[in-house]
Amino acid sequence: MARSRPRTLSPARAARLRPLLDRLDAAVDRAARVSADPVEFPRAFPDPDDAEVAALVAVSLAYGRADVFKPVVARVLAAMSPSPARFVEVFARAPAPGAFEGVVYRFNRPPDLAALAAGAGAMRLRHGGLGARFTALFREAGGGPAALRPALAAFAAELRDAPVARGLLAGRGPRGLRHLLPDPAGPGASKRWNLYLRWMIRGPDAVDLGLWRGVPASALVVPLDTHVHRVARALGLTARRDASWRTAEEITAALRRVDPEDPVRYDFALCHLGMSGACPARRDRARCAACVLAPACAGGAPPRASDAPRGRSTPAGTAVRGGPGRRRGAARRGARSARGRTSSPARAPSSR
């Protein structure tokens, strides 16, 4: 565990950062980015009941590379079609063995997916919706930012511990389901859970769905992945190296100074700044010189005259430069951009 004093963003720094983040956010090509993001699955369902279930399926499987897990999500949702909400409710009453036969993805097997569907169905039948249940748990925990984590932990436990879900795991054990629905009370940053809440609570806008109106966006915690973590460290929003809940909270606290009502509003732009390679893992003076965040970024070293970009730059600050070596680099960055949100390499894959 890294030992560092919590970072605080001074009002002056927060005021400097906000217009830069706004410029970054405005430059994101949302249509293109959403098509590379698992949020495209729930966005395909106009019925809010279907969208909250499709989102749970998509986010639970959103580990590893997006180009690998997205076909798996598509297959699971095809099995639940045309209405994931109705499917899980019927499934919770009478689970159909073999509904997800042949769907295997890394740590997960068909019984895990059946248990996930059954748990979601049981919660919907009992409480009227996943959002209704989460909102009630959030209020029971006191509301406000401090209530988010305990409410989320109770929500995850209730999904996992539904008797019908447990029954489907006889002979398989709970480990696979626990990987799909991890415990937010644990030390990890619970990236996928916080991403689910961002989708459900923020907005509606071009990315997030804004379906759960009873929980304020001000309570959200940033979904901490390796891209957001790296950019946040470069911006001085945290000095912590571990991909923990505490690090996610520290980054959120800094972003709350930029926008107290909506601290995760820049998460999509920051994540895609890293994913696209515009803010690469290895410091690149030329890219920093072209980056809109450079004036407020401690990680962006002042550019030298020789680093000035010679080609075009996108509004987001991605310099486009010639030469075969640079084209190979751009191709590698393009391949990386096809990947999904990944947890920090500081965490073991099995713990994600």
Q: How far is the CB of 224 from ligand SF4 (least distance, A)?
A: 16
The CA–CA distances, whole Å, from 36 to 30, 336, 343 equal: 10, 11, 17
Residue of minimal Cβ distance to ligand SF4: 300
User: With binding defined as CB under 6 A, does residue 202 bind ligand SF4?
Assistant: no
One DSSP character per residue, 271-298 reads HHHHHTTSS-SS--HHHHHH-TTGGG-S
Q: Which range binds ligand SF4 by CB under 6 A, 136-144, 207-215, 287-295, 302-310?
A: 287-295
DSSP 8-class letter at 7: P
Nearby residues of 2 by Cβ (< 8 Å), 6 or more positions away: 239, 240, 241, 242
| Torsion sign over Cα 277, 327, 307, 18 | negative
What are the two backbone dihedrals, phi and then psi, of residue 313, each rounded to the nearest 5 degrees? -130, 140
User: With binding defined as CB under 6 A, does residue 159 bind ligand SF4?
Assistant: no
Q: Which range binds ligand SF4 by CB under 6 A, 83-91, 197-205, 250-258, 294-302?
A: 294-302
User: With binding defined as CB under 6 A, does residue 55 bind ligand SF4?
Assistant: no
160, 287, 347, 352: which one binds ligand SF4 (CB under 6 A): 287
Q: Give the separation between CA 237 and CA 220, rounded to whole angstroms.
A: 16
Give the pair of three-digit tokens for residue 152.
Answer: 């989320």
17, 148, 165, 234: which one binds ligand SF4 (CB under 6 A): 234
Q: How far is the CB of 226 from ligand SF4 (least distance, A)?
A: 13
User: With binding defined as CB under 6 A, does residue 219 bind ligand SF4?
Assistant: no
Q: Which is nearer to ligand SF4, 300 or 340 (CB)?
A: 300
- CB–CB of 204/142 below 8 Å? no
Cα angle at 117 between 116 and 122, to 5 degrees? 100
Q: How far is the CB of 233 from ligand SF4 (least distance, A)?
A: 9
User: With binding defined as CB under 6 A, does residue 299 bind ligand SF4?
Assistant: yes
User: With binding defined as CB under 6 A, does residue 291 bind ligand SF4?
Assistant: yes
Q: How far is the CB of 272 from ligand SF4 (least distance, A)?
A: 12
Q: Which range binds ligand SF4 by CB under 6 A, 25-33, 188-196, 297-305, 318-326?
A: 297-305
Binding characters for ligand SF4, 264-283, by CB under 6 A (x = yes)? ---------------x----
User: With binding defined as CB under 6 A, does residue 152 bind ligand SF4?
Assistant: no
- CB–CB of 296/20 below 8 Å? yes
Q: How many residues does the chain have?
A: 352
User: Closest Cα to residue 77, out of 46, 108, 107, 44?
Assistant: 44
User: With binding defined as CB under 6 A, does residue 222 bind ligand SF4?
Assistant: no
Q: How far is the CB of 218 from ligand SF4 (least distance, A)?
A: 25
User: With binding defined as CB under 6 A, does residue 56 bind ligand SF4?
Assistant: no
Nearby residues of 95 by Cβ (< 8 Å), 6 or more positions away: 114, 117, 118, 164, 167, 168
62, 231, 253, 269: which one binds ligand SF4 (CB under 6 A): 231
One DSSP character per residue, 140-196 reads HTTSSHHHHHHHHHHHHHHHHH-HHHHHHTTTT-SHHHHHHS--TTSSB--HHHHHH
36, 53, 293, 316: which one binds ligand SF4 (CB under 6 A): 293
Q: How far is the CB of 288 from ligand SF4 (least distance, A)?
A: 3
Q: Which range binds ligand SF4 by CB under 6 A, 141-149, 183-191, 284-292, 319-327?
A: 284-292
Residues near ligand SF4 (CB under 6 A) are 231, 234, 279, 287-288, 291, 293-294, 297, 299-300
